[in-house]
Every structure is written in C-alpha cells, then in structure tokens.
Amino acid sequence: MSDTTTGASYAAAGVDIEAGDRAVELMKEWVKKTKRPEVLGGLGGFAGLFDASALKRYERPLLASATDGVGTKVDLARKMGVYDTIGHDLVGMVVDDLVVCGAEPLFMTDYICVGKVHPERVAAIVKGIAEGCVLAGCALVGGETAEHPGLLGEDDFDVAGAGTGVVEADQLLGPDRIRTGDAVIAMASSGLHSNGYSLVRHVVFDRAGWSLDREVPEFGRTLGEELLEPTKIYSLDCLALTRTTEVHAFSHVTGGGLAANLARVVPDALHARVDRSTWTPDAVFDVVGRAGNVERLELEKTLNMGVGMIAVVPGESVDAALTTLADRGVHAWVAGEITERGGHATGAALSGDYAS
C-alpha cells in the first residue's frame, strides 16, 4: 500500500527531472558534432531551427519527410547493455528512405521513451544517433526523452525518429524514370539491419534455445554481437551516385524484403528481374534459416538477404556507378535488369539460386 501521509510528487510517481537534465548535458557534445551551417541554436529550446534560406539555391525545392523506429532490435540492445549502436539503426532507417527519391537528408529529430532515465544510457543512445547523422550528412536538431514509469520497466526503452530532406523537383527519382534495359545494382547490407527481428528472435531464442553470448562459428563472434551489427547508412553513397552518373531510382530494402521493396519503384508496365546467383547472402541469413527451418520464401519476404539498397540505372551508367560505389568502399554488383512485364510477372521477382 502506498504512503498517503506525505504529499505526492513527480519524483514519487517515478519521474526524475534531475536525471533528465543530466542526460541532456551528457548528450550535448554528441549533438554538436552533427551541426550543419543552416542549424541555429543548440539543445534546450522547444524546437530545432533550420535556416530555410539555404533552399533558395533550388529552382523548385521539394521537401521529403520520413519517420521510423528500430523495432524489437532495441530489446537485444537492452539485454546486452549496448546502447551506442542502436542510434545508427534509427538514422539509417529514416535517411535511407529519404534518399530513395533523391533527397539530401537535412535534419532529424529523435524520440526516446524509457521506463527510467539513466543519464549515461540515454546519452549513449543519442551518441549513436549523432554518429549516424554524421555518416548521413544531416543534423540532429532536437528530440525528446520521455520517462514512462509504470508503463515500461526501469530498463525498457524504445526509439523513434523523423527526418526531413530536400530534392530539386526536376531531379526527383522514381518509377517515372525507369526504362526497359535499366540495370539493377545491388548494394551489400551489413547484416540483418533493423527488420525481421521478431522472426529472428523467435527462431534463435524460442526454437533454437540459443543465448546472446553463444559463440557462433559462422559469425566469428557471439550471436548478440552479430544481431546488434548496425544498419548500413547509404544516403551519402546514393547522393554521390546521383552526382557522378544518371540514376533512375533507388529502393531501400526494409520490411517486406528485396522483391517487395523493389516493386514499389517499378512502373506497372515493367518488371524487375533479380538473379540470386549474383551474390552470396551473409552467414546470418543461412544460420537463421537453418535454425528455424524457415522456408526461403519466408526469409526473402522478411529479411534483406544481404542487399540493403538498390539503384536502378541506365545500362550505359553501370560502369560509372560501380566505380563510384567501389571508390566509396561500398560492395555493389549488377544483380538484374528491367524488362517488359508479361504474362503473370509481378513488379519484381528473384530467380535462380544464391551463389555458394
């Protein structure tokens, strides 16, 4: 029974304002590293400010907006006590959706919800977000840390973010640009990224009975270390492609897998054919499949299978595109082509068997 002899307070209800202030102080140095020239002020205001006069150089600037979270991957971070990588995942999920239309990510805001504010833990999460923003070339202009005692356990947390980007109207990428004979260029993922973790967790924990500290020979590290591998951030690589060669479309491979996401940017009259034999998925995909006896189709519609981003380019742009990506340290290859849609063909499909 609660004590009703003393007055109620926010602290007694489980919210520690001083801890929240301490977290803000700890995260300031990391947020500062993301600052772009257009950003005004710093943390502590009610809203982040971005000088929109920077858009005057555009003839017709289109603002792009995206929002996302990291899903159940946050539970693995909590269990492992590793908080400075999950922010990379958050940034990647947001900015790589923005760049699909050719937009340059300008700024992000984040929302961190916790059961109890542990200042160092919150600061570590923001550190990861800030590092991700640096990799994406965008600013972290603000955010919110919310303490929800009673709804979340003391160690529970979740993260979400929103981003804004800009693209010149006549440079907008998408289905209208795609033509027959275009090449489908695949860019390698860094692993599972941030999708399909409900399936992965069910397979490795519930069915296989593995622990996070289990050493997995195929990974050369523990299961937990493999599962926490951060999402690769492609935004600056994609923008480099648009500057060095002609690009018709990008597709960010997230929930739904490669075929479903590629189909989203293929016009109705055309078909994208992707040849599995052009790459070998990382070991984690095979391990998850074998551990849970998961059918290939189920894996492919849930996980990225080793491809995190797709670029659709004209045939004559292939060499330049691959050279640009190689120069930037991105493993990429021609994985398929765009053809006329015929018979029962869908927007995109995979054929053949993966290379061994």
* Predicted local distance difference test score (pLDDT) of residue 47: 81
Compute the C-alpha angle 75/81/83, nearest 5°: 80
Helices (H), the chain: 17-32, 73-80, 86-98, 119-136, 197-201, 223-227, 235-244, 257-263, 283-292, 296-300, 318-327
Q: If we measure between CA atoms, which residue out of 57, 59, 163, 67 comes closest to residue 106?
A: 163
* Predicted local distance difference test score (pLDDT) of residue 20: 59
Beta strand 249-252 with 49-50: parallel, antiparallel or unpaired? unpaired
Instruction: Specify the residue for token string 């995260």.
Output: 27
* Predicted local distance difference test score (pLDDT) of residue 27: 64
Pairwise CA distance, residues 30 & 192, whole Å: 26
What is the tens place of the pLDDT at every residue in 335-355?
999 999 887 777 899 999 999
* Predicted local distance difference test score (pLDDT) of residue 21: 66
Cα pseudo-dihedral 50, 53, 54, 57, rounded to 10? 160
> In sequence order, which residues have a C-beta less than 8 Å from that of residue 56 and are 6 or more positions away?
none
Q: If we measure between CA atoms, which residue out of 119, 166, 159, 124 comes closest to residue 143?
A: 159
Q: If we measure between CA atoms, which residue out of 46, 61, 237, 274 comes closest to residue 143?
A: 46
CA atoms within 13 A on the CB side of 42: 9
**DSSP letters along 199-236, please?**
HHHIIIIIIS---TT-EETTTTEEHHHHHTPPPPP-HH
Residue type, 224: G
What is the tens place of the pLDDT at every residue in 84-134?
999 999 999 999 999 999 999 999 999 999 999 888 898 899 999 999 999
Beta strand 221-222 with 270-275: parallel, antiparallel or unpaired? unpaired
For the chain, what is the mean pLDDT? 91
Q: List Cβ<8 Å contacts ≥24 apart for 148-154.
A: 148/113, 148/114, 148/115, 149/13, 149/14, 149/15, 149/115, 149/116, 150/14, 151/115, 152/113, 152/114, 152/115, 153/115, 154/115, 154/116
* Predicted local distance difference test score (pLDDT) of residue 8: 47
* Predicted local distance difference test score (pLDDT) of residue 22: 65
* Predicted local distance difference test score (pLDDT) of residue 32: 73
Show the low-confidence residues of the chain (pLDDT under 50): 8-9, 12
* Predicted local distance difference test score (pLDDT) of residue 301: 95
Q: Percentage of the chain with pLDDT > 70?
A: 90
